[in-house]
Chains A and B, each alone.
Chain A
Amino acid sequence: MTSLSNIAGGPAVTEAGDEVVMRPPTERGPLAWTRRNLFSSWTSGITTGVMVTVLVWIGYRFLDWAVLRAIWTLPGSSIADTQLCRAETAGACWALIHEKYRFILFGLYPYAEQWRPTICIAAFIGLYVVSVDRRLWGWKIAAVWLAGLTAIFILMRGGVFGLRPVSEDLWGGLPVTLMLATFGIALAFPLAILVALGRASETNPTVRTLCTLYVEIIRGIPLISVLFMASVMFPLFLPEGLTVSKLLRAQLGIVIFVAAYLSETIRGGLQAVPSGQYEAAKSLGLGYWRMTALVIMPQALTIVLPPIVSLCIAFFKHTSLVMIIGIFDLLNAAKRSIGEPAWQGFGAEAYIFVAAIYFAFCFAMSRYGQRLEKRLKRSR
């Protein structure tokens, strides 16, 4: 019986209640747990044995490389002497990160001004944390975001309040990644809502067709071709003399791409709102826009919050594609940090460092999404 409940539930999703009921009261304690979960049958025993062996072997090899034989700093000099890291016995060369972490995090941003992107990163994280608070949801959160994003933009760009102006060409690293992702989603949101409403529109076939075309075409092609389009084709659309910076073009491409996916998710939410809600709103005498803004949209958005979080994770990761069109984002900074001949060959260290940063953001988001999903299920 116990094994059965385990099969159906699985550790990751076990609904503890079932198991406790089914488990005979005598089987308790760590030994019983081990027998039940690691050695329930001879196949399970063999699996456990093989897994332990492999894990210990990999774990040891990794620890040996990353910690025991690792080189953390190099003897100080202006030109890095990486011979130490190239010795046969040397493990991971974390000295690369020690030397280059400011470059990887902030790119070419002027060294003396790097407190500004640091504050921006903190502000971004602050915005994410504040957004988790359900009491603020609604107009308040929109206001907080508008203020926060404006402040971040001014801080990065400078030129006012006595801040030294810093050209967009010098922006790089983590702030650029956060900016592309956050601005991408924030700007795509209103557009996505309009497109979703347009696609759901019954009275306006022209709008519906246009929105459908937009969504299906964008979803049919890879992000990288949208980015190419933004970087190569977009300048052709503009009249003579009008230019848009490379970063802004990439940002536009991302917004256009994100909005197509986001609008499909929101449309799913619109369809999930019971028709009684539409009818009730109309019988109260609300017009289309007031009905949508006050009754339908709040419910629809609540329903699709978990998939929206998944989309946010996906697009956060996908911003790394801007590297291909030459934007200096976090991944590109890591790639360029090992471009110097002295540091060539230490890709693993740079990429693991950057992967850890991406992981921290995405993992936090996915945990939040799971919690949200559970809470929404409970409240329904």
Chain B
Amino acid sequence: MRSASKSNRRPIAGAADLRSLALQAALVLGIVALAWFLIDTTLANLRARGITTGFAFLFRPINMPIAHSWLEFVPGIHTYARALLIGILNTLTVSFIVIVAATVAGTLIGIARLSPNWLLARVCGAYVEMIRNVPVLLQLVFWYQMLLQLPSPRNAITVVEGLYISNRGIRYPTLIEAQGGGLALGAFALGCAVLVALVYLRNRFGSERLKSRSFLPAGVLLLAIGPAAVLYLSGTRISPDVPELRGFNFVGGSSLAPELSALVIGLSIYASAFVAEIVRAGILGVPKGQWEAAESLGLSRVKTLRKIVLPQALRIIVPPLTSEYLGITKNSSLAVAVGYPDLVAIVNTMISDTGQAVEGIAIIMAAFLTISLAVSALMNWYNRSVALVTR
């Protein structure tokens, strides 16, 4: 089509080009004039309201407590920049947890929707329809409300001794160590790296026999025993830190606050319904003949799914899944509705503090565009690795 329309225009190229050029010039002029007008009025408005411009405020201290943070944060001492960093980390945390949870749950539900068991398929179908057709924000505020209505810490639900659920969140025991925690973490990271390298080398250079062998036992060994050995040899003593009720709240252990819990539960449930539909469409996109061929080879249903159908379905699944992941990242900004300090919530506070809306929106845009590009790049790389290799 492209070439056809070009060649069609060739005979009157001069006139058309001139007209198009004039049009473009007029357009550019119009845009510039509009932009100049907008910037001018905005600056005038900002001056009138006594709002400064620029990013200098980033390095001023911020007077806002942040409830959930990976980094140490002291209001009045730490800067806006640090608060933003915490916001970005929180956004990434939520997105990561939700992506993993929704992928696992969605894949299972998508497969179950195609189960030969009528009841299972119907129940999963009903779940997907119910979740998909109700706004995610409604689900978030619903779960938040439900979590806040749980009993107080004094009457907390005891799942097992040490794991308590109350309206202050989920309290769980942790391990504290005197020293050597970093070493163990390092050993774990090293184990991961070695494992990835081994799998890569096997796939690249290994023989067919080696390729068919599973690396799972070796992986578990590397990832579990390595750090344990390091801890033992370095003489670290680990003691459990079990929460216990003291007064009105729990002491010890660690907790998942209701804000984060509601956000993760709500977003994961919502996204799982969409992932399920993507997986189902992917499996349906694999020709029926593949199922029949696998069954005539005597493969079981589970094996057929794992070895024959899903690898082919992945090619159909990955592109829409990528945009679903991007959607999850963007939906994580709904954190502001349940009071979890993600990037958007923190920028929001920043805007109401300083009045510098333009800069705030610019920061949000930059952060989300970066995340979007990174996720797209990662998924494109994965897509290439599962793509059909044609001779």
A contact residues vs B (CB 8 Å cutoff): 3-4, 6-8, 10-13, 37-38, 40, 44, 47-48, 51-52, 55, 202-207, 210, 217, 220-225, 228-229, 232-233, 235-240, 275, 278-279, 282, 313, 317-318, 320-321, 323-324, 331, 335, 345, 347-348, 351, 354-355, 358-359, 362-363, 366
Contact = CB atoms under 8 A, between A and B. Distances in A.
14 contacts: A3-B116, A4-B292, A8-B291, A13-B284, A38-B119, A51-B117, A52-B119, A222-B330, A224-B334, A224-B336, A233-B357, A236-B357, A335-B141, A358-B135
Interface stretch (B40-48, B153-161, B196-204, B220-228): B40-48
Contacts of A4: 291-292, 295
B19 to A, nearest CB: 9
A317 B135 contact: yes
A265 to B, nearest CB: 12
Contact of A220 (B137, B149, B365): B365
A224 B342 CA distance: 13
B41 A220 contact: no
B331 interface: yes
B368 A221 contact: yes
B102 interface: no
Nearest to A355: B134
Given A8-B292, A47-B120, A236-B42, 17 more contacts: A3-B116, A4-B291, A11-B118, A11-B122, A12-B125, A37-B118, A47-B115, A48-B120, A55-B123, A204-B20, A221-B364, A221-B369, A222-B330, A228-B351, A320-B137, A347-B141, A348-B145
A347 B117 contact: no
Interface in B333-358: 333-334, 336-337, 344, 348, 351, 357-358
A235 B44 CA distance: 12
Which interface residue of A7, A238, A345, A351 has the most chain B CB atoms within 10 A? Answer: A7
Contact of A7 (B114, B138, B361, B365): B114
Interface stretch (B23-31, B82-90, B182-190, B242-250): B23-31
A61 to B, nearest CB: 14
User: In this complex, which of A223, A224, A235, A278 has the most chain B Cβ atoms within 10 angstroms of its Cβ?
Assistant: A224
A278 B4 contact: yes
B278 to A, nearest CB: 13
Contact of A224 (B118, B123, B344): B344
A358 B337 CA distance: 19
B74 interface: no
Given A4-B291, A206-B28, A10 B114 contact: yes
In the complex, the 8 A-B pairs of residues with the closest C-beta atoms, listed nearest first: A347-B145, A275-B1, A37-B118, A362-B133, A10-B114, A317-B135, A222-B330, A222-B333
Contacts of B145: 347-348, 351
B141 to A, nearest CB: 6
A202 B116 contact: no
Nearest to A367: B129
Interface residues of B, number: 72
B194 interface: no
B113 interface: yes
A239 B372 CA distance: 35
Contact of A48 (B8, B119, B291, B365): B119
A321 B336 CA distance: 10
B16 interface: yes
B4 A275 contact: yes
A354 B138 contact: yes
Nearest to A6: B116
Interface in B300-347: 301, 330-331, 333-334, 336-337, 344
Contacts of B81: none
Contacts of A221: 330, 364-365, 368-369
A214 to B, nearest CB: 11
Contact of B138 (A10, A324, A358): A358
A4 B133 CA distance: 31
B42 A225 contact: no
A156 to B, nearest CB: 22
B377 interface: no
Contact of B117 (A48, A233, A321): A48
B391 interface: no
Contacts of B38: 237
Given A351-B141, A363-B129, A220 B121 contact: no
Interface in B100-134: 113-123, 125, 129-130, 132-134
Contacts of B2: 202
Given A38-B118, A55-B123, A237-B42, A225 B333 contact: yes
B369 A220 contact: yes
A268 B60 CA distance: 47
B6 interface: yes
Nearest to B40: A239
Contact of B6 (A40, A202, A324): A202
B135 A318 contact: yes
Nearest to B45: A236
Contacts of A47: 115, 117, 119-120
Nearest to B287: A8
Given A55-B123, A323-B337, A355-B142, A7 B4 contact: no
A347 B149 contact: yes
A358 B136 CA distance: 11
